[in-house]
Amino acid sequence: MSLQLKAANPNPNENAKKGQTIDLGNGSEVVYVQRFMAYDEAWRLFDYLDKQIPWTRPTIRVFGRSCVQPRDTCYIASAGLPELAYSGYQPHPYSWDDFSPLTEILKLVQKVLPGSRFNSLLLNRYKGGNDYVGWHADDEKLYGSTPEIASVSFGCDREFVLKKKPSKSSGGEKRSDGEPESKRLKKSSDANQHSFMLKHGSLLVMRGYTQRDWIHSVPKRAKAETTRINLTFRLVL
Ligand SMILES: O=C(O)CCC(=O)C(=O)O
Ligand SMILES: [Fe+2]
């Protein structure tokens, strides 16, 4: 965890409910609300999602190779939106109307983020620690240049890692003359990587230029034995 994060609010209880904002710099920002949803309510929703969502595990293409996506997925979108495609896969868009609890969750997200709008939802189910999502940015054109993505997590706690993309201009990090290399590396890794343990019932929001300048992943974790379900709300323009 970064120093900024610890310093954001001296009262951890207040942080858990109201959320903490992490300024990633250059117009990128992340907000984490650990207790976004009541614990029991979140378990009720987990059971619903686990049983009622038409999960699939599609074949996708990564670096020209076909492979089975290492997690289950489902896509919900409002009618009439341009179709989403990623890794050579075009998910069938299900309707919000058939899954009313999803609309309830969306309403709660919009209550916490007044002024934000979302019209599509990508669901992921990780059936244990071998399931994961590799490094990527959600920078598809249909989301525009500064997408806001609201991510709600249920079930098993999993680590979510954000890593700065290497800067295009000067072949990497800025020089810091006169400092020992060990210190320099430490400093750059603190600022260029942030990790969050995404808790059951939590909300994580990525906004600004986060998708342009950063990549994120949920790595494999041998110790994560149980299922995690994650919902990412997005706005297709
Ligand atoms: O499961 C998560 O927390 C992240 C999922 C994700 O990055 C995505 O669906 O694009
Ligand atoms: Fe993502």
204 Cα nearest atom in ligand 1: 3
Q: What percent of the chain has pLDDT over 70?
A: 86
| pLDDT tens-digit series, residues 127-147 | 999 999 999 999 999 999 999
The answer on pLDDT for 182 being more than 80 is no
* Ligand 1 interacting residues, C-beta cut-off 6 A: 122, 124, 133, 138, 151, 160, 198, 216, 218, 230, 232
Q: What is the pLDDT of residues 90-129, one digit of tens each?
A: 999 999 999 999 999 999 999 999 999 999 999 999 999 9
Q: Domain residues of the chain, as ranges? A: 20-165+192-234
Q: Is the pLDDT of residue 9 over 90?
A: no
Bridge partner residues of 76 (DSSP): 94, 121
Determine the pLDDT at residue 15: 84
pLDDT tens profile 78-101: 999 999 999 999 999 999 999 999
pLDDT at 189: 58
- In tens, the pLDDT along 28-70 reads 999 999 999 999 999 999 999 999 999 999 999 988 999 999 9
pLDDT reported for residue 5 = 40
CA distance 71 to 117: 27
**CATH assignment, 20-165+192-234:** 2.60.120.590
Residue 138 Cα to ligand 2 midpoint, Å, equals 5
Residue of 142, 157, 163, 230 to test ligand 1 pocket, by largest number of atoms within 8 Å of CB: 230
CA distance 228 to 35: 16
In terms of pLDDT, which residue wins out, 189 or 195?
195
DSSP string, 148-190: -EEEEEEES-EEEEEEEPPPTTTTSSPP-TTS-HHHHHHHHHH
Residue 24 to residues 29, 31, 60, Cα–Cα distance (Å): 5, 10, 31
183 — pLDDT class (breaks 50, 70, 90): low
Rounded to an integer, what distance in angstroms lies between the CA atom of residue 85 and that of residue 115?
27
**What average pLDDT score do residues 154-171 get?**
87
> What is the average pLDDT value for the chain, to the nearest integer?
89
The atom number, within ligand 1, closest to the CA of 138 reads 10
Q: Please name the residue whose Cα sits nearest to atom 2 of ligand 1.
A: 230
Q: Confirm whether the ipTM is greater than 0.95.
A: yes
